Structure 1
Amino acid sequence: MGKIIASVSCTLDGIYTGPTGDENNMVSWAMPGIIDSTADNLIMFQKADAILLGRINYEGLASYWPFQEGEFAEAMNKTPKYVATRNREVTNVQWGDFGETISLLAGDLSERVAELKSQIEGTIIVPGSAGLVQSLLNTRLVDEINMIIHPVVLGNGKRYLDSIDARNNLKLIGTKLYETSGSMRLHYEVVN
């Protein structure tokens, strides 16, 4: 049985995007912590057995990673990827020249992801994809949350865990301080 690990960078107040009106701009607040944590994130993706993406995150990553080189690009491009969407207009997904590494999970999200977990023995990383992670937490399919907290409070923007239906108990299983940026990695197991 696979293990789903939600992975995100967010502010102290839980925002994972830029502020309202500049949602796609994380550079001003996240880049120092992203640079600090690159080696650890690379290891996480190199060890992943699959990557699960929401449609919006897929669109952004698919327009970037297939055209990059290096260790991180190799981990992103060669690892099997699955795109979860409820959008019935999406019938095909592409990943540059790595088309054999990407599949579409359409239909009932909880059923399809539960099937995926039963088929994959190792870790399934869900980078970002807040809407997907919220749905998976609500259906008790997330096993761990690996979160980098950046030392900034934005006050507005999209919150990573905004639409959770019920309590989720967490057990802290790891921490790491990135001293240059002041960012902190918090790694939790979901223990419901």
Structure 2
Amino acid sequence: MTRLVTANLFSTLDGAVENPAAWQGDAFDDILAQVMTSTLSSVDDVLLGRSTYDMWASHWTRDDVEDPFKDFINSVPKHVASRTLARESVTWDNCSVIDVELLEFVRSLKETEGRDISIQGSLSVIAQLLEAGLLDRLTLIVHPVMAGSERRLSDSMDLSSGPLSLTLLDHQVNTKGTVVLTYGPAS
């Protein structure tokens, strides 16, 4: 059985997905916590781009971070897609640099035993997998806020040949007005 590749992005109403700490506010409640917990409970591997790796490694390895997701994030196998990160510079436990082309790596990883493969943040990784048809689920957690100038997922994609269609698989709304939309490939 082929493993699913999933991605989760926090988003604004105007499509910004970069720097969510600047605009999320108090959007988390029990519903969103359950969505995040459910998502992560089905994951055996995480893919990260270089920028997300840098942010996560510096944050999640700190002793003063108290977060229910910390143990999961530090223990799950993490694979970093980077052309500039030296393999020997990665010291975070359970973390390695992908040493082959990203699409080849993901195709191979999908064929191994295990549960879902998740991409967190990492816009360029998500964009490449969407364009290649390798992303099985894209979950957008849309906050009721406008960010203006922050980067959007489409900024990392080549849509010159036309739009990329997706199919809505699920949706939820939390008590703060945040909408969780899960999409899959168009039928």
Same fold (TM over 0.5): yes
Q: Which of 81, 87, 95 matches 1:102?
A: 95
Structure 1 consecutive aligned stretches of length 4 or more whose deviation exceeds 6 Å: none
Paired residues for 1:1-192 under 5 Å = 1-17=2-18, 24=19, 26-35=20-29, 37-67=32-62, 68-69=65-66, 71-87=68-84, 89-92=85-88, 93-95=90-92, 99=93, 101-166=94-159, 167-179=163-175, 181-191=176-186
**Alignment CA distance shift 1:90-1:40 (3 Å):** same
Match of 1:171, as an amino acid? Answer: T
**Alignment CA distance shift 1:50-1:31 (3 Å):** farther
Measured after TM superposition, the shift of residue 161 of structure 1 is: 2.5
TM-score, scaled to structure 2? 0.85
Would you say the 8 A contact 1:4–1:125 is kept in 2? yes
Deviations 1:97-138 (A, max 9, x none): xx2x22211331211221122224321111111111111112
State the identity %. Answer: 30
Between the aligned partners of 2:29 and 2:95, the Cα distance in structure 1 is: 27
Would you say the 8 A contact 1:10–1:160 is kept in 2? no
Measured after TM superposition, the shift of residue 69 of structure 1 is: 4.7
TM-score, scaled to structure 1? 0.83
Match of 2:12, as an amino acid? Answer: T
Structure 2 counterpart SS, 1:134: helix
Which deviates more, 62-71 or 72-81? Answer: 62-71
RMSD: 2.0
